[in-house]
């Protein structure tokens, strides 16, 4: 045996012994912290992320091994999750998936975990965490119908809408859901100084919630346009998405269906009239069914009633496509001016 080989074997042995010792230390540390729900306290550079990855794998294994989330398994899931996010506070998936697993059996603990992620700066562009927080409050909390819980949910839902680029539909849907519940609880809605309307149906509350959001964005938009000193690319958090949300297209099918299904409810009909006059000014909608109709049409194609004709030549009654009538050459602009006055 030569000298080099002896050294080589010794180095290998030491590596195996030391490596095995460290591995045992790490392993017991991971398991211990997974059980206690605390961050792995021993300091190994960059180890926490690694530990949370292992914990996550163990967690996925565990989640696959249990039949359901119940009184026995929920506390274990909760502890494992807390250990994972303590080691890796930026691990979005752990908050999201964990909270969904716990939401039915332990909604308060599910929310607690989401709140840890919600306060994390590294996740400040994650919209799912506040969205799930709002969903858990409004669907699984025992006092989900109270204004206190709804206000908590509203806070999260607003953040979810602001964070989701392009106004994610689920986030807007959740915000409208919360706002509608609050409006229904309040029982009234103030359209203007002199017009206060009773809110007596869920559909009506939902329509009003959408209208109220739309009106708020109109006001913001006007405020921004009137500020000359604002740079062109100025978009503070919460402001940048409001242009992308098409409230009018969201509200129209609701109004149409409410006009039919709740035609006996005076509060609903009054609400529809008020909203139609403010939100759909200049839009040609059938009075009876609120479907839009095109230029030159005499009857509503949806319900068959007579509609007020627009967009035709004052001389020959052909449908006008531009400034001048393509059938007789008459200038159609005076007619357009008359049409505006007519409304
Ligand atoms: Zn119609
Ligand atoms: Zn003509």
3-class state of residue 22 by DSSP: helix
Q: Identify the pLDDT of residue 164.
A: 87
Specify which residues 198 forms β-bridges with.
188
Please name the residues in contact with 221: beta carbons below 8 A apart, sequence gap of 6 or more: 242, 243
Half-sphere exposure of residue 201, counting CA atoms within 13 Å on the CB side? 19
Is pLDDT at 16 greater than 70 in this prediction?
A: no
Could you tell me which of 64, 237, 71, 69 has the C-alpha nearest to residue 162?
237
Which strand (E) or helix (H) includes residue 224? helix 202-225
Measured distance CA(107)–CA(84) in Å, rounded: 19
Q: Which ligand sits closest to the CA of 308? A: 1
Q: What is the mean pLDDT of residues 211-225?
A: 84
pLDDT for the residue 210: 95
Report which bound ligand comes closest to the CA of 302. Answer: 1
Has residue 45 got a pLDDT over 70?
A: no
Averaged pLDDT score across all residues of the chain: 85
CA of 29 to the centre of ligand 2 (A): 86
pLDDT at residue 239 in the model: 44
- Which residue, among 181, 199, 105, has the nearest Cα to 138 in the 3D structure? 181
pLDDT digits (tens, 9 = 90+) for 239-264: 444 456 788 889 999 999 999 999 99
| Percent of the chain's residues with pLDDT above 90 | 65
Q: In this predicted model, what pLDDT tens digit does every residue of 262-277 receive, in sequence order?
A: 999 999 999 999 999 9
Q: 81: buried, middle or exposed (CB in 10 Å: 19+, 13-18, 0-12)?
A: buried
Q: Token pair for residue 170?
A: 């689920």
Top-confidence residue, 259 or 9? 259
pLDDT recorded at residue 260: 92
337, pLDDT greater than 60:
no
Please report the pLDDT score of residue 50 as a whole number: 86
Q: Which secondary structure element, helix H or strand E, spans residue 198, and what is its range?
A: strand 196-198
Å from CA of 315 to ligand 2 middle: 5
Query: Tens digit of pLDDT for each residue in 168-179?
Result: 888 999 999 999
Average pLDDT rounded to a whole number, residues 180-203: 95
Rounded to the nearest whole angstrom, what is the distance from the C-alpha of residue 285 to the centroid of ligand 1? 8
Q: What's the CA gap between 97 and 128, in Å, rounded?
A: 10
Q: How many CB atoms lie within 10 A of CB 331?
A: 14
> Please, where are the H alpha helices in 68-168?
73-87, 92-102, 107-118, 128-140, 147-163
**Nearest-angstrom CA–CA distance, 80 and 32:** 10
Nearest-10 crossing angle of helices 47-65, 3-36: 60
Q: Give distance in angstroms: CA of 314 to centre of ligand 2.
A: 7
Q: What is the pLDDT of residue 245?
A: 79
Cβ atoms of residues 106 and 94 within 8 Å: no
| CA of residue 305 to ligand 1 center, whole Å | 6
CA of 13 to the centre of ligand 2 (A): 100
CA contacts within 13 A on the Cβ side of 110: 27
Higher-pLDDT residue of 242, 165? 165
Of 215, 172, 179, 171, whose CA–CA distance to 199 is shortest?
179
Name the more confident of 23 and 133.
133
Ligand nearest to the CA of 318: 2
pTM: 0.75
Q: Ligand 2 center to residue 309 CA distance, Å? A: 15
Q: How far is the CA of 283 from the centre of ligand 1 (A)?
A: 14
Among residues 160, 108, 100, 109, the alpha carbon closest in space to that of 134 is found at: 160
C-alpha of residue 334 to centroid of ligand 1, in Å: 28
């Amino acid at each position: 045996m030569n000298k080099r080989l002896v050294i080589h074997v010794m180095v290998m042995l030491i590596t195996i012994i030391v490596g095995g010792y460290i591995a045992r230390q790490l392993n017991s540390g991971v398991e211990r912290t997974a059980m206690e729900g605390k961050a792995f306290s021993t300091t190994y550079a960059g180890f926490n992320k690694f530990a949370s990855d292992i914990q996550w794998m163990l967690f996925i294994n565990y989640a696959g091994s249990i039949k359901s989330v119940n009184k026995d398994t929920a506390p274990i899931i909760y502890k494992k999750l807390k250990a994972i996010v303590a080691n890796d506070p930026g691990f979005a998936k752990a908050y999201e998936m964990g909270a969904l697993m716990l939401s039915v059996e332990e909604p308060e603990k599910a929310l607690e975990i989401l709140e840890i992620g919600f306060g994390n700066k590294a996740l400040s562009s994650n919209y799912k965490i506040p969205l799930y927080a709002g969903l858990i409050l409004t669907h699984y909390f025992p006092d989900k119908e109270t204004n206190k819980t709804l206000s908590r949910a509203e806070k999260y839902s607003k953040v979810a809408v602001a964070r989701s680029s392009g106004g994610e539909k689920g986030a807007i849907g959740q915000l409208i859901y919360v706002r509608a519940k609050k409006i229904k609880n309040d029982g009234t809605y103030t359209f203007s100084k002199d017009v206060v309307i009773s809110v007596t149906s869920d559909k009506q509350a939902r329509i009003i919630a959408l209208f109220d959001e739309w009106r708020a964005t109109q006001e913001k938009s006007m405020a921004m346009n009137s500020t000359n000193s604002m740079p062109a690319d100025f978009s503070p958090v919460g402001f940048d998405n409001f242009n992308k949300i098409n409230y009018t297209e969201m509200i129209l099918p609701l109004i149409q269906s409410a006009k039919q299904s709740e035609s006996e409810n005076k509060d609903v009909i009054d609400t529809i009239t008020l909203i139609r006059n403010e939100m759909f000014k200049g839009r040609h909608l059938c009075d009876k069914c609120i479907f839009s109709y095109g230029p030159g049409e005499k009857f509503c194609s949806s319900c068959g009633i007579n509609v007020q004709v627009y967009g035709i030549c004052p001389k020959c009654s052909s449908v006008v496509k531009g400034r001048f009538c393509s059938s007789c050459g008459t200038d159609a602009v005076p007619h357009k001016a008359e049409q505006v006055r007519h409304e």
